[in-house]
Amino acid sequence: MRTPDSKTGSFGIRVTLPDNDPFERLLDEGWNAQHWFQTRNERDRALKEMSREHEYSRKGDAPALLFEAIDNTSDS
């Protein structure tokens, strides 16, 4: 998987915290991060990878972050 350039691309992933997450106290209100990709396919593969249960996770653990597919295209 290609590493995305955080400033370019039309297809992105917005990363946020769930409501009332205790980690929210350490970050600014409304914190989010965005990762951008050149193609929808690259973005969708990265989204699947980011949100999966990883091999080093405990059984049943899921990422505490929320991942949302976003588009930055004129036709969306």
Domain limits, the chain: 1-54+63-76
Residues 12/43, Cβ–Cβ less than 8 Å? yes
Instruction: Give the pLDDT mean for 15-36.
Output: 89
Q: What percent of the chain has a predicted confidence (pLDDT) above 90? A: 45
What's the N-to-C CA distance of the chain in angstroms?
A: 25
> What does DSSP assign to residue 20?
T
| Position 73 pLDDT exceeds 50 | yes
Q: pTM for the complete prediction?
A: 0.75
Compute the mean pLDDT over every residue in the chain, rounded to the nearest whole number: 83
